[in-house]
Amino acid sequence: MKRTMMTLTAAAVALAAATGVAAVAAPGGAPESAPGAARKPVERSALLCPTPTSSEVGETTYTAFSPKGAADKGTAALHAAGTVQEDTGGKGGKGKGGKGDDSGAAAGQRAVPPRDSKPVAPLKAAGTPVTATTNRSDAPALTGEADGALAPGWTVQQTTSVAAGAGRGLLGLSCVAPDTTFWFPGVSTGKDRQDYVHLTNPDATQAVVDLELRGKDGALSGDAGENIAVPPHTTVPVLLSTLTTSPQPDAALHVTAREGRVGASVQATDTHQGGDWLPAAADPAPGAVLPGIPADATSVRLVVLAPGDTDADLKVQLATPTGLITPAGLESLHVKSGMTTAVDLKPQGEAGSLVLSPADDGSRTPIVAALQVVRGKGANKEMAFIPATRPVEQRATAADNRAKGATLSLVAPEKGKDAKVTVVASAGSEGGTPVSKTYTVKGGTTLAVTPPLPQGLKGSYALTVEPAAGSGPVHAARTLAQPQGGVPAFTVQTLPDDRGTVVVPTAGQDLSLLTD
């Protein structure tokens, strides 16, 4: 038995090295080099962009970009996904008890293929962004893949400007990689909000998804979120208020794919504060960093959940331009197991980032967290979201930046551990020469800067953030502000590591594979 297990292990390592997709994980989930291992670029990546808007006065721009790397060729493009519609004939697929056809749609629904197969924002070379624009109110969700030299760091930004009506403002999202689990603290089923989670299946087989909402008193009752079928190459939006009979203004959503994998993003629309996308937060961890609170924020609300079986006691700090401070009256925060906790933070009048850490150094209770940030006053309010995000380990990218309105926030959350990063502004989508600039972020502070502009910029450009070797930990976010009359329309995208490389163990011959 022991010999069999050793043989299977050797075979797995050899296969991983051959395919170039293996990584050795440290206990915290971050890649860690094993003896003799090599870090190599990924060979393939996938991204999913949700349906942008149903507004008749909305315009969406897709900006695709891959940082320069190896000289080899590659491909990268997005294609329209299908939708699910009510089937008056009553036929359905396998999800939620459906029977009859093989589309994968739920009972009483049918999967409708996309009407256009033309690729969207296809890349031909790394280092220069490509844009595509649509003002269709029925613009589809998109699924795509990149391979070869274009796969490492491939990033697509979806930016929608809605001029009026529900959800007016600027809605921005970095299109997401497919996965099997997502956490969304900060969702709402309150009377002033309409939050939809968009589930997109990139694969040729059906995905089945469970949605669980948790509020201030724990799990919200109802089984409407169970066993949701997402047919192949199709997107399914779900209105969160239909999952519960108990309205909750500060809730958390857990998306779990029990079969297959999906991309998941939440589109939040507020009656009084516009709309934006709420991306998934970083995986549950004992601490969290939420970078990029604008200097002129008029409201900052934190939503935290401890998803496990243990309460969390957190130390709350703001990393300001001059150092870490404790918000008045919020030296610590107690978060009950399985329940959301929401608190308002007093705006400081300066750029900052929120740093959550265990109040007890020995505590390892995992949490998830997000901020809802508001700019403006009265009828001219606009909201955005800042979820907890992973640090930038090798490189991070923001694809859609304009000549005016971009702010880059860099935070070194640990006091005494300065971070040194190089920021590269790419060529413009219609012309321009790349430039770079190096910044040093003092430990325990946030540095908010207007990023460098490419020389002779025409069109939009991309930013990459690359920490120096030996640098202290750094987290990043990009704010894009595009005022609409009196509305200070804006959106914030956190910049987690793009995971454009993986650690591949070195493999050698093992002749025991040929023996019994």
What digits encode the pLDDT tens for the residues 397-424? 999 999 999 999 999 999 999 999 999 9
3-state class (DSSP) for residue 379? coil
pLDDT score for 319? 98
Residues of the chain with pLDDT under 50: 1-33, 90-101
pLDDT score for 510? 63
C-alpha to C-alpha distance for 381 and 477, rounded to whole angstroms: 21
pTM of the model: 0.88
Do the Cβ atoms of 176 and 263 come closer than 8 Å? Answer: yes
C-alpha to C-alpha distance for 104 and 44, rounded to whole angstroms: 26
Residues near 34 by Cβ (< 8 Å), separated by ≥ 6? 24, 503, 505
Do the Cβ atoms of 257 and 208 come closer than 8 Å? Answer: yes
Q: Which of 491, 253, 247 is nearest to 372 (CA)?
A: 491
Do the Cβ atoms of 175 and 111 come closer than 8 Å? Answer: no
Q: Which of 74, 79, 78 is nearest to 150 (CA)?
A: 74
pLDDT score for 29? 41
**pLDDT tens per residue, range 484-493:** 999 999 999 9
Q: Which of 304, 317, 333, 267 is nearest to 443 (CA)?
A: 317
Q: Which backbone phi and psi does 14 adopt, to 5 degrees?
A: -65, -40
Q: How far is the CA of 354 from the CAs of 230, 314, 427, in angstroms?
A: 36, 12, 32
pLDDT score for 115? 74
Which residues does residue 164 pair with via DSSP β-bridges, in sequence order? Answer: none
C-alpha to C-alpha distance for 103 and 109, rounded to whole angstroms: 10
Output the DSSP codes for 289-351. Answer: EEEEE-TTEEEEEEEEEB-SSS-EEEEEEEE-SS-EEPPTT-SEEEE-BT-EEEEEE---SS-
User: CB-hemisphere CA count at 13 Å for 476?
Assistant: 29
Q: Which backbone phi and psi does 3 adopt, to 5 degrees?
A: -65, -40
